[in-house]
Amino acid sequence: MSTSSTKKATAKKPDFLRHYTSIEFLYKILDSGYLLLSDPGKKWEDQNDVAAVRAFCRIKGNGTEARAVCFLDGEESISHWKTFAEEEGCCISFDRNEILKQVKGTDFLHGPVEYKREIKANELKKLIPKNIKKIPFIKRNPYKCEEEYRIIWFGTGEVPKIHFKREKAIKSITLSPWISDIDREKIKKHIEEKYDIKAQFSRILALPELIRIFENLGKPNPKKRKPQKSRKS
């Protein structure tokens, strides 16, 4: 089920969800054909966020545990590369519908994170019991730039995996701008030949078209020639 969001309904979201990871985990994902849901308490740096998920589990009771996987629900940014993909990482663009088809059921929650300037105890208490599913999707405003879309599984049994078919679910793979040119070419060739998936390089640090525009800025245009003066007969 999807959680409600403060985002405007008219705002059109891309048809894909971006997942930043290392090259090592990229190959594991491609070889296995599934995404793993991780333990927030072991993986997330934001302890406020961890506390929110644990509160949700505590309210659910019966020894409920939660596992999650996170995506970018917006455009590429330099902070996403530096925070989530390290120097030699990548970004996998998943088809939104193909991934969300795999997380249907009462033990799954998914939706965009809601970022709030203030998170007050009284407001949270009002979510209990009817709207407790909103609790693990509330995060502080300083993290708004993440534009996160979150999938959460909760329960007491074996943690499921999010299976997918590569040819349908993965639209493209973008390689980190910090990977050396030689390594990027090798990785790109390997991905395209072994997995038949389009790989590209992030141009966030150097966009050739824009660099050319700046380099030509202020230079005389050779195509524009001064009109010749007519000779008097």
The set of residues, in sequence order, having a beta carbon less than 8 Å from that of 232 and lying 6+ positions away, is none
- Per-residue pLDDT, averaged over 157-175, amounts to 95
The set of residues, in sequence order, having a beta carbon less than 8 Å from that of 177 and lying 6+ positions away, is 81, 201, 202, 203, 204, 205, 206
Q: pTM here?
A: 0.86
Q: Who wins on pLDDT, 225 or 203?
A: 203
Q: What pLDDT does residue 1 have?
A: 45
Q: What pLDDT does residue 9 have?
A: 42
Nearest to 1, CA basis, from 102, 100, 97, 110:
110
For 45, half-sphere exposure in the C-beta direction (CA atoms, 13 angstrom radius) is 3
Q: pLDDT tens for residues 198-214?
A: 999 999 999 999 999 99
Question: What amino acid is encoded at 105 in this protein?
Answer: G
How much of the chain, in percent, has pLDDT values that exceed 70? 89
